[in-house]
Amino acid sequence: MRLSNEQKGSLYAITSGFLYGFIGYFGMSAMNTDLSAANMLFWRFSISALTVLPMILWSWQSTPRPKIKEIWRAYLSGLLFYGASTLLYFIASPYIGTGLSMVIFFAYPAMIMLINLLFYKATITGQYGIAITIILIGLCLLVDFKALTFDMIGIALSLLSGLFYAAYVIASKKNALPAIPQTLFISLGCMTTSFIVALSEDSFFIPTQADTWINLFGIGIIATALPVLLLLKGLEYISAEKGSILSVLEPVFVMFFGALLLHETISIIQLIGCVVILSGALLTLRPH
């Protein structure tokens, strides 16, 4: 059966969210070896860049040369948007916990809709609005309210994290650079941001343990290079709104792999939350 462009884009976005689900396992395993968040992110994005570089060299003769403006925009998107978003999320989590940080961050599809509505005069369907509302309800059910902490600094940082990520998705959608080179230059931008922060806090060092490198390669390839590439590929076929909504399946996969690989427990309420999130995502797959 031949897939339509809409179906291809949706499949790319869902697969991206699936692979992002490994980020919790590899990220936590790497940071348990005394790596700071900034240092871990530097190696994560360095490995991501090295992963896609051979793909570019392989297709160098058969693809048109990218414009300098497109390369620069992709690099700045990683430097200012994606890199900053990732760091802000890690900074916000100690203030309000990873659960609330996750819920606030994954409101970014609504931010994408708002940005496109205000600045690009885009038309937003009620279907996507309902889907986001359902997904946010599901995300709230994933939160452990016993460990919930409200802190205005943490909430503000999480909102900024989501806003920067929304800007990254929109910038990537509007960039004509193909997915593979765009992944490279976004990774290089994120790598630069993380390196500057790691140096400023004096936490940069080169890991020496084999286990650390296994986890870094896991997060760099499986949970960064491939899902970033797939999401960017998906955005070539579908809107930024739809791509962002489908990628919100990531917390469901994170929870699944946390239970499978880290032996974390999942409550009945959290299982219901996963079903609710899946329902919201499935709603976007229906014809308007």
Into how many domains does the chain fold? 1
Tokens read off for 286: 């229906």
Q: How many residues does the chain have?
A: 288
CA distances from 149 to 96, 104, 106, 136, 248 (A): 5, 13, 18, 18, 23
Q: What's the domain range around 78? A: 5-59+66-285
Query: What's the CA gap between 19 and 10, in Å, rounded?
Result: 14
For the chain, the C-alpha Rg in angstroms (whole number) is 18
Least Cα distance to 140 among 97, 102, 110 occurs for: 102
pLDDT of residue 167: 95
Q: What was the pLDDT predicted at 136?
A: 86
Cα 163 to Cα 157: distance, rounded to the nearest angstrom:
10
> Residue-wise pLDDT tens for the chain (288 aa)?
678 888 899 999 999 989 988 887 888 788 777 888 899 999 999 999 999 999 888 876 667 788 899 999 999 999 999 999 999 988 888 888 777 788 888 889 889 988 888 888 777 777 888 888 888 888 888 877 666 667 788 889 999 999 999 999 999 999 999 999 999 999 999 999 999 999 999 999 999 999 999 999 999 999 999 999 999 999 999 989 888 888 888 888 887 877 777 777 778 888 898 889 888 888 887 765
pLDDT of residue 49: 96
pLDDT for the residue numbered 256: 81
Least Cα distance to 278 among 144, 179, 181, 138 occurs for: 138
Distance CA 158, CA 104 (A): 6
120, with CB counted inside 10 A (0-12, 13-18, 19+), is: exposed
Cα angle for residues 131, 264, 149 (degrees, 5° grid): 65
